[in-house]
Amino acid sequence: MWSLRWEILTIYIPRFCYVALSISQTYLIQNTVEYVQGSDDPGSVSTGYGLIGAFAFVYIGLAVSCSKTHL
């Protein structure tokens, strides 16, 4: 196992990222629904931009981690 540690890491790191990002989708959608239903306070614009960035991060991360697991 010690001699194959780098090969094992190249397998498990993308899988761990895929699982973590898949789980985070639930919370991201929940926060988005709460944001859409929320009030129109002045700080909501920056929250909206943060949600857009979070969606980009999650879906790009899922694409990259999925492509790394299927090599």
pTM of this prediction?
A: 0.78
Q: For 23-67, write each residue's pLDDT tens digit.
A: 999 999 999 999 988 867 767 888 889 999 999 999 999 999 888
Give one DSSP letter per residue of 7-58, joined into a string.
HHHHHHHHHHHHHHHHHHHHHHHHHHHHHHHS---TTHHHHHHHHHHHHHHH
| pLDDT, greater one: 26 or 2 | 26
Domain boundaries, the chain: 2-69
